[in-house]
Amino acid sequence: MSELKLQIKQLIVDALNLEDLRPEDIGDDQALFDDGLGLDSIDALELGVALRKKYLLKLDAGDASVRAAFRCVNTLAELVHARRTDSERTANE
């Protein structure tokens, strides 16, 4: 799981082209938006696109649980972990 979190942090830095931030600067539980990392609504869209691409996730932006998952790296990692397991299970069935 910590491997996945680091991956997600790297993804945030790369996808959003964050100039003054390294992956290790992002706290697992640090809010990504508002007072935390200060990402904005456009960043949210781009991060969504990057996550869908990298982990082949199907994310519905209208889904409240998805929106909640964008709170911090921990919640994103849980989302990716859960959805990936879901899709693997689906593939096995």
Partner 1 sequence: MTVPSTTPFIAISKLFATPRAAGHPACVSREGTIGWAKLSSQVGAICTALSARLESRWLIAADDVLEFCASLLGALHAGKRAVIAPNLGEGTLRDLRSAYDASIGTAIPADIDPLTLAPIPWSARQLDPDAAALDLYTSGSSGVPKRVTKRLRQLEAEVQALETCWGAMLADATVISTVPHHHIYGLLFRLLWPLSAGRPFDPALYAEPSGLLHATATYGRIALISSPAHLSRLPELLALDALLPGVRCIFSSGAPLPAACAQQFRLAAGHAPVEVYGSTETGGIGWRQRSDDPHDDLWTPFPQIEFPGSGSEEPRLRSPYLEPGAEVRLDDEITLLADGRFRLGARLDRIAKVEGKRVSLPEMEDQLRRHPWVQDAAATVLSRSRDEVGAAVVLRPRGIDEAKRDRRVVIGALRDFLRAWQDPVAVPKRWRFVAALPLDTRGKLSAAAVRALFEAATAAALPPIRSQRPGPQRIEFELYLPGDLPCFDGHFPGLPVLPGVIQVDWAIRLARRHLGCSGRFRGIDNLRFQSVVVPERALNLLLETSADATRLSFRYTLGERKCSSGTILFRP
Q: Which of residues 22-51 bind partner 1 (CB under 8 A)?
A: 22, 25, 33-35, 38-42, 46
Q: Is 6 in the site for partner 1 (CB under 8 A)?
A: no
Of 40, 33, 37, 34, which Cα lies nearest the Cα of 22? 37
Integer Cα distance of 55 and 43 in angstroms: 18
Nearer to partner 1, 3 or 34 (CB): 34
Q: Indicate which single residue of 4, 6, 13, 21 sits in contact with partner 1 (rule: CB under 8 A).
A: 21
Total interface residues for partner 1 by CB under 8 A? 16
Integer Cα distance of 71 and 54 in angstroms: 19
CB environment 11-40: b (16+ within 10 A), e (fewer)? bbbebbebeeeebeebebeeebeeeebebe
As measured in angstroms, the least distance from the Cβ of 62 to partner 1 is 21
Nearer to partner 1, 22 or 52 (CB): 22
Residues that bind partner 1 (CB under 8 A): 17-22, 25, 33-35, 38-42, 46
